[in-house]
Amino acid sequence: MKQRHLVIAFIVALAAAWSLLQPFTITLLCYIGLYALVAVGLVMLTGVGGMTSFGQAAFVGLGAYATAWICTSPTAAEWLGFLPKGVYPWIGLVLGLLVTALIAWALGAVTLRLSGHYLPLGTIAWGLSLYYIFGNLQTLGGFTGITDIPPLTLFGLSMESPRVLGVLIWALLLLAIWALHNLLHSREGRAIRALKSGRLMAESMGVDTARHRIKLFVLAALLAAVSGWLYAHMQRFVNPTPFNLNIGIEYLFMAVVGGAGYLWGAVLGATLITLLKEELQDALPKLLGASGNFEVIVFGLLMLLVLQRAADGLWPVLAGWMRRFIQAEPAHKLVAGGGAVQLDQRQLPPAGQEILKADKVTKRFAGLVANNEVDMTVKAGEIHALIGPNGAGKSTFFNMISGVDDPTDGSVSLMGKPMRGHPSREFAALGLGRTFQHVRLLGERSVLDNVALGAHRRGHRGWVASMLRLDRAEEAAVLAEAMRQIERCGLGAVADTAAASLPLGQQ
C-alpha cells in the first residue's frame, strides 16, 4: 500500500462513518478538526520553521470576532444592508483573514527580530494584549461576548447542525494539509525547512529568510483565523475565554505531542489532547473530590513524558509502525523517471573580465583587527588561493566578500556592482556561491534536498503555485539537475540518505 492510498482510506472511512456516529461524537470531531487546523499552522511555524508561538489562540479570536461583529453589528448591517443575510458570514471570513494578515504581518515584523527565549516571550506579550483588547472593547461585547451569531449557509444549505458543519471543517482541514504537504515538497518548502537550523547557509544560496519567516508567521495566523471563523458559527457565541494564553499553550501541546515536524501529527495531537481533556475534566474532580483544572497537571506530565520518550512527538512512532505496510518509492527514482529538462544555464563572463574585487577591506572586532586593508581582484577563468595560519582572518575575509559580514572599512564589488552592506542572498543572485569552513547542511534532510536547495535562485514559482502543485515542471527540472550533480560527484547511491548520517568526507 502506498502512502496516498492510506490517506484516501482514512478519508473514505471517516466519510462512511460520519452519518452513523452519535451527535456527541460528531461534535467532538468538529472540535478536533478546529483545533487541528490551528495546530497544523503551529507545525509549520514551530516544528518546521523553528519559531515557537504561545499566542495562536489570539489569532483564532481575530477570526471569530471579525465574523461575529459583521453578522451582529448594527453598523455592519447598515453597510451591508443591500446583501442577503446569508452572505454576512462569508464577508466575515474575508474581513477576518484581512485583519489577521495585517496584524500578523505587523507583529511578525517586530517579534521575529527576537531570538532565543525572547521570541516565545514576545508571542506571550502580544497574545495577552489581544486577549485583553477582546475583553475591553465594548464594540465586541467586552468580557460578556457576542451572542446570536447566525449559522453558516452555503448555496441555501444551512450548516447549523454540527453533522453538516463538520463536513466543511474537515474538508478545510484536509485541504490545508494537502496544500501544506505540497508546499513542503517544493522549492519554497526547502527554503522553509532551512529556517530552523540553516538560515546562514540558506541566505548564501539566495533565500530571503526574513521574508520567508514573516510569510510563514502570517500563514499560521491565517489558519488559526479560519478555525476561529468556523468556531464562531458553530458555537454561535464568542467571548474572550477561548482565546486566552492557556488555550494558546494547549494548541502548542497538540503540535508537540503529535509531532511538531509532521502535518498529520497536528491531527494526532489535537485528537489526543481533546479526548484526554474531555475525559479528565469529568473524571479527575470525581476522583480527587475537588473541583479545579487538574487536567492541566496531567498535560504537563504528559508533555514531560513525550519529550523524554519521544522527543519528535508520537506521529513518528506511529508512522514508523505504518511504514511496514507502505511502499515508498525513493526520491531519486522519481526524479530519474520524471523526464525533466535541464535548467537554463547562467551565461559565463568572457575570460579576463573582472568578477570580484575587494579594495582595502578591513574588519575590526572591538580592538582586534582581523583583516587590515586586504586587496583582491578575481577575473573570469582565474583560480585564487588564500593561505594563512589559523586565526589569520581567512574565514572573516571570505565572509565579507560573500555578504555574510560587512567590512568595517573598504569596499567589495561583484560583477561591477558595489556590494558593501548587501546581504549574502544578493551575492548569490549575481552568481556567487560559497562553502563554509565547517560544513553547513540540513542534517535531517536528504542529500537530494540539500543539493536542490542550492538551485533556489534558478526557480521562480512561489508559495501559492507550490501549494496548488502548479510548480511540477519546474520542480522536476530542479530535482533532475540536483540529481545530475549528485551522480557527477559519485553520491548517487546515497541521494535519499539523511545528510547528517554521511561520513564527514561525503558531507
- CATH superfamily for domain 354-429: P-loop containing nucleotide triphosphate hydrolases (3.40.50.300)
Please state the rounded mean pLDDT for residues 31-38: 96
Say if residue 67's pLDDT is above 90.
Answer: yes
Please check whether residue 152 is in contact with residue 233, taking contact to mean a CB–CB distance below 8 angstroms: yes
Say if residue 314's pLDDT is above 50.
Answer: yes
Please state the rounded mean pLDDT for residues 261-279: 90
- For 410-436, write each residue's pLDDT tens digit: 889 998 889 888 898 889 888 888 888
Read off the amino acid at residue 457: R
Q: Where in the chain is the domain with CATH 3.40.50.300?
A: 354-429
Residue with cell 563554509: 436
Q: Report the C-alpha gap between 264 and 10 in whole angstroms.
A: 12
Select, from the ranges 36-40, 139-143, 151-155, 164-168, the one with the highest average predicted confidence (pLDDT): 36-40
Q: Report the C-alpha gap between 361 and 397 in whole angstroms.
A: 8
Q: Residue 326 has what pLDDT?
A: 64
Please state the rounded mean pLDDT for residues 55-62: 95
Confidence label for 306 from pLDDT (cuts 50, 70 and 90): confident
Say if residue 337's pLDDT is above 50.
Answer: no
Say if residue 248's pLDDT is above 60.
Answer: yes
- For 291-305, write each residue's pLDDT tens digit: 767 777 777 787 788
Better pLDDT: 474 or 339:
474
C-alpha gyration radius of the chain: 26
What is the average pLDDT score of the chain? 87
Task: Choose among 239, 325, 250: nearest CA to 5.
Answer: 325
- For 351-370, write each residue's pLDDT tens digit: 888 999 989 989 988 888 88
Q: Residue 332 has what pLDDT?
A: 54
Read off the amino acid at residue 22: Q
Read off the amino acid at residue 251: Y
Q: How is residue 255 written as a grid cell?
A: 503540535
- For 68-87, write each residue's pLDDT tens digit: 999 999 888 888 888 888 89
Read off the amino acid at residue 100: T
Q: Residue 328 has what pLDDT?
A: 58
Q: pTM of the entire structure?
A: 0.89
Say if residue 290's pLDDT is above 80.
Answer: no
The H or E element that residue 356 is part of is strand 354-365
Say if residue 335's pLDDT is above 60.
Answer: no
Q: Report the C-alpha gap between 28 and 166 in whole angstroms.
A: 10
Q: Would you tell me the crossing angle of helices 263-288 and 295-309 to the nearest 10 degrees?
A: 140
Q: Report the C-alpha gap between 385 and 403 in whole angstroms.
A: 19
Confidence label for 458 from pLDDT (cuts 50, 70 and 90): confident
Say if residue 167's pLDDT is above 80.
Answer: yes
Q: Report the C-alpha gap between 190 and 199 in whole angstroms.
A: 11
Please, how many CA atoms are within 13 Å of residue 107, restricted to the half-sphere of its CB?
27
